[in-house]
Structure 1
């Protein structure tokens, strides 16, 4: 699992980084001074929260996994058109890239 956050002191602290390691999680942060470094990922998480997670109450990670997997693999990758990909789905863009 990957934790994505900004370079805030709470996320960069030794205590937080140790907690991530203890839970076998990787940390993803923007490079210092580059607020656009993770812009695509941040946009995806904002959309995921707005379209799927807001209003949902998951009692555990295990309960959330199938719902999030379905959203990502079935809807976002194969049905949702992305402006950053010329209004293709990620699946369509990958197929075009591998065919070329």
Structure 2
């Protein structure tokens, strides 16, 4: 696999370069796997699915979130689910460019890895915690944290200390304003 992104973490527009990954989270009834997509322009997070079985993630990919553009680049690690023929074929069919760093590269998927590390810390989802939660409570907590907090309230240093949604709204407003001559 190639790495067309080449550690470029600041694309010039929304919906051009995304990072994706899967985290495994323990619950009372077994493991759940959370898939996320991150727009590297604005750091808007999109939760794919919380699932109980391990699967190649052709769950709809970037088009599921409604945030799609022509020639989208999707960067992941080299997990087997991302190297699966069906997954790669689906990306090609949807004209999504697949990007992966070399094995063992510390920058392999840093943005998604940092996101999961922070999420697990803030929600106390550490594998060593004393009490496991139900899958329903996990789904609720993840939705609140990601959709309500990370996207709408949490400030990010990379995007001038504002939330991802505010950042995108400002970019859209800036680009759509027209000057009017009296």
TM range (shorter): 0.5 to 0.7
In structure 2, the partner of 1:72 is: 146
What does residue range 6-85 of structure 1 map to in structure 2 within 5 Å?
23-26=54-57, 28-29=76-77, 30-33=100-103, 34-54=105-125, 55=129, 57-60=132-135, 62-85=136-159
TM superposition shift of 1:35: 2.3
Q: Which structure: greater helix fraction?
A: 1
RMSD: 2.7
TM superposition shift of 1:24: 3.4
Cα separation, 2, equivalents of 1:48 and 1:94 = 22
Equivalent pairs counted in the alignment come to: 82
TM-score, normalization by structure 1? 0.65
Structure 1 stretches of 4+ with a deviation exceeding 6 A read none
1:52 to 1:72, Cα distance in 2 relative to 1, 3 A: same
TM superposition shift of 1:4: 5.4
Cα separation, 2, equivalents of 1:50 and 1:23 = 23
Deviations 1:12-54 (A, max 9, x none): xxxxxxxxxx743429415215422311111111110111134
Q: Which structure: greater strand fraction?
A: 2
Q: Which runs of 5+ in 1 are unaligned?
A: 6-21
Indicate if the aligned counterparts of 2:102 and 2:108 stay in contact, CA closer than 8 A. no
Indicate if the aligned counterparts of 1:3 and 1:25 stay in contact, CA closer than 8 A. no
TM-score, normalization by structure 2? 0.38
Q: Which has the larger radius of gyration?
A: 2
3-state SS of paired residue (1:67): helix
In structure 1, the partner of 2:38 is: none
